[in-house]
Structure 1
Amino acid sequence: MASALNSKIHAPGNCPGSKADARGGAGWRMDCDPEMHVKMCKKIAQLTKVIYALNTRQDETEAGMEALREAHQEELQQAVAETEARLLQAQGRVGEEEALRQRIQALESALELQKQLTQEALAQSASCRLETQERELRVEAEHAERVLTLSKEMLELKADYEKRLRHLSGHEAPRWDRLTKEGPEPKAEPGCGPEMREVLLEVERLRAENQQLSKDYARKAEELQATYERENEAVRQAMQQSVSEALWQWQEKETDLRKNFQAQEAALQAQVRKLEGDLEHRGRKISDLKKYAQKLKDRIQDLDVQLKEARQENSELKSTAKKLGEKLAIAKDKLMLQECHVTQKTGDMKTERVSENEVLRKENNLEACSLHPQQDQNFAKECPCTKGGTDTQTKKEACIETEYMKQKYEEDLRKIKHQTEEEKKHLKDQLMKRLEDLVKKHTVEIKSVRSSVEAERKRLQKEVEAQLEEVKKKSENEIKQLEEEKAALSVKLQNSLLEVLRLEEFIQQNKACPPRGDEKPQELDYQHCNILETQ
């Protein structure tokens, strides 16, 4: 680059003068001030390096921006893919929730069906108990009717017997009185013997008939009592069997219902625990998703800020490089103009010196013709001295001007460097301020998101606790209702057993106190009244 710049600077068409003058001026510059030329070349090389470094930095910044853009796009695509996957998982969770709801509905329908079956079993037990009671009442009514019928027959037989006995006693009373008055051994009258024998035979026959009727009545009463006992025993056994079967069926159904309710309660509790765990897991996932979304948002914002900063820095670097390029071009132009000016000045000085030398030579030639040869030698010595003084003055002026240009160029470089440092400091302050603002903003957003997530979690927890409490209360109410039904059925069963025991005691009392003689109809009437009262 320095050689190219030197070639541009020392081009033959850049300044006025002939080729010989240019070659002479260039040779004079190289011979007179090589140090200044080297310094100028070094400065130009340094400026070229600075421009190259700025261009390289700009390329690196563009490459970094492109890499950031690609990374940003990849992160966005990855975030979109993860969001889609989580949406699919959420949809799957929704499907699982729907399946759980259907399962809960199926369990509720099964519970309703079990309740219906329980009610049907209770209704069957009640109908069986009613049928047993109706059968008992019907048997007791039939027995009471038979007892009443036999009592009526016995009363009719007794009334007929008493009537005939009264008739016989009223018809034969005078004769019996007379016979008793006559003595224990009356004499047989020929006219009264056959009638008395007939009367006595009639009396004996009536007595035998009365005894036979009493025996028949006792036998029929015993047969009726045995029939009643057999029927009562059969009814009692049938009732006990039906009650025991109903009790066994009820106990079996109660056991099945208790097992089913326990299994359903355990399943519901397991489902509730599962739902609680699922809700907690989903709450954690939601919080994680929100945190991840917030992180992605923060990352996107950071990347956007970095991209904006990189673009801004790139634009600033471009503008700085452009300014430095313009300043470098101006400096190059100034250097070229100064070099042309110096070259022109040295050419003019050389031309003047040549013309002066020619004039001096002519004068010397003219004087040589008229003066002494010694004077020619002295004049020849003075001419090189004059020539040397003129060259020294020209070199001094060129050095002074070069030093002035060098100082000015260094001052310009210091100003540019100071300005660049000031701009960097200003940009750094702005960046720190923006970062602080972003940190504050992100902190506020994170706090708000955390508060909203905490509120949502508390709300979900309250809803779950309310649902659990409702399910628990419902289960407790159902268990209490079943226990009340069980207690009612137990009370009814005890009442039926007490009634059976009372009937057995009544039957045993009837067995222990059989009817005797003429008191049997009254006792049968009393028993009939007791049976009616019992009914």
Structure 2
Amino acid sequence: MASGAGKAAQPAGQGSTVNGTAAEFPSIEQDTELYDYHMHSKMCKKIAQLTKVIYSLNMKNEEQEATLQALSYAHHEELHRVLMESCHEGEGSVLRIRLLELQECLDEQQRVGAQAQADFECYRLQAEEREREAETELRKEFEEKLRAAEEALQDARVQMSVSQEESLRLCKELESMGQHVQALDAKCEEMQKAAQLEERQRREEQRRKEEEERRREEERRIEEREDTERVRALLDQLNALRQDRERAEEDKRRALKEESELWEHKLHDVNEEMENMRRKMEGEWREERRKWEEREEEEKKGMHSALRERVKRAEADVESHLEKLDESQRNTVKLQERIQNLEEELELHRKRVSEAEGVVKRAEDELVVAKERLLLQEDELQSRAEELLNRGGCEVCVCTEVDELRSQVSRLQSRNRELELQSSGRNNDHARQIRQHAEALSSLRSEMVRAQTEELRRIQKHADDERDKLQKEIQREREALQKEKDQFEKELSRVRREREEEREQQRR
């Protein structure tokens, strides 16, 4: 019988993403227990039936042996009695014919028995050959199915490793996204620095303008001092213009200051809002990643534990089936040994029958010799009868003696008919018993082959069901992983879209 061992599931690497928990199958254990109970009861019934058949065969063999011995003894005694009676009786020619007919009938029965023995031997060899071929074919088929199941399990493990690599790739993408977020933060800081630098440059420009104005004012004052007489007439107007200009400059400085303060406040608010948003997104991302990793770890642990449990149960089922197969093989070997013993006993019975037939043949040879003696005695009696007739005396005595001889011959004929009927009945019983024995052996072999075929078919069906369940479960896990991957990609695209929108807002 083919044998196979289950393989434990490989643990997934760190960071793998496998969604969905392995489904529990309590019905498998219930079916296994129910099957074990039914199989045990069926095996017990089969063993009881085989025991009864073997016991009946033994009883029939013993009865057949006792019957053969009794028939042989009765035949021998009858032949001896016939020989003893034939020594004193006449009419030997009729007895000779009857004995020749009995001899032909015995030869015919021997030929029929030899033909039945040859047919039984041929049938036994054909049955053994068919049994070996069926067992070899079933073993090859079971080994091929088991090899296919192991290859499917290996493919499932390869797919599991591919899914683990995919999860590692997704983790790397998450890390790259984190680095991208950090780069965006750095870019935001650079933009803040650029804005501060621009603000400093604007203040420097304003300070330079103020210095230039003061310098011009000093030059104008110098010119005024030099041209006091020349511009005295226009002094009032110049003072008024100066005051207007100063007020305008003051208003301008105040407006610039207010505008700069407003822009600084807005920039500060934008920076605070970006910082809060960044912190919030980082917190949400960390929380989501933590939840996702916890959920993934829990699902992975649940799936691995369930798969290990299922693999252990499958290994236990396979071991129990192998033990049952070994037990059935041992029972088959025992039954084959018992059948071999029965065949040896049958061969011994046949040898005994052949020995009995040899004894019968020797008795028939002795009967032939006795017939010849009877013929001689018949000739002597005829000669004596002729002498008595020639002498002409005691005719009445001779007639009575002849009548007695005739009555003895008739009794001998009736006895020969009875012996013929007994011999034919004995030969028919012997052939029928041999035929029944052969039928019992053939039915026993066919029952054994059928039981082994059903066991192999049931084991193959169980292995196919387990393989289909594993494939369906792997397909469901793959679909769940694909859904989670799509959801993650959608979330990633949403985050990128939000970042782009924030960037557009910052540019505006």
Tell which has more relative contact order, 1 or 2 (C-alpha 8 A, sep 6+). Answer: 2
Q: TM-score range by the shorter chain?
A: 0.3 to 0.5
TM-score w.r.t. length of structure 2: 0.47
- Return the index of the structure with the highest Cα Rg: 1
TM-score w.r.t. length of structure 1: 0.45
